[in-house]
Amino acid sequence: MLTDNKQINFNEFHEIRDWLIKNGYKGNKLNWKLMRRLSYTIKEYFNKNLLEHLTWQELNEFHAKSPLHFLVLEILKTR
């Protein structure tokens, strides 16, 4: 779940990788480059405080434009 503190350390690549495996992502999609990209993407959204200003519906619409962004949203929902 989302917390009140938007400044979260997302350098925990193993946590993202575990989430991906649990949700059926396999093979070379789980390489280091993707883990780093996902981590930076999530951290960037938090640092810009986008979540403070968007409703869940708006956030869903925003993320729906990119598969990577949708994946990030799903990860955020499980925290």
CA–CA gap between residue 23 and residue 2 (Å, rounded): 19
Q: What's the pLDDT at 22?
A: 72
Task: Answer for the pair 13, 35: CB distance below 8 angstroms, yes or no.
Answer: yes
Domain assignments of the chain as residue spans, ordered by start: 13-78
Q: What's the pLDDT at 27?
A: 54
SS3 57: helix
For the stretch 25-43, pLDDT in tens is 665 555 556 666 666 666 6
CA–CA gap between residue 71 and residue 60 (Å, rounded): 11
The alpha helices in the chain, defined as continuous H runs, are: 13-22, 32-47, 50-53, 56-63, 67-78
Res 74 pLDDT > 50: yes
Q: What's the pLDDT at 8?
A: 37
Instruction: Select, from the ranges 11-15, 50-54, 57-61, the one with the highest average predicted confidence (pLDDT).
Output: 57-61
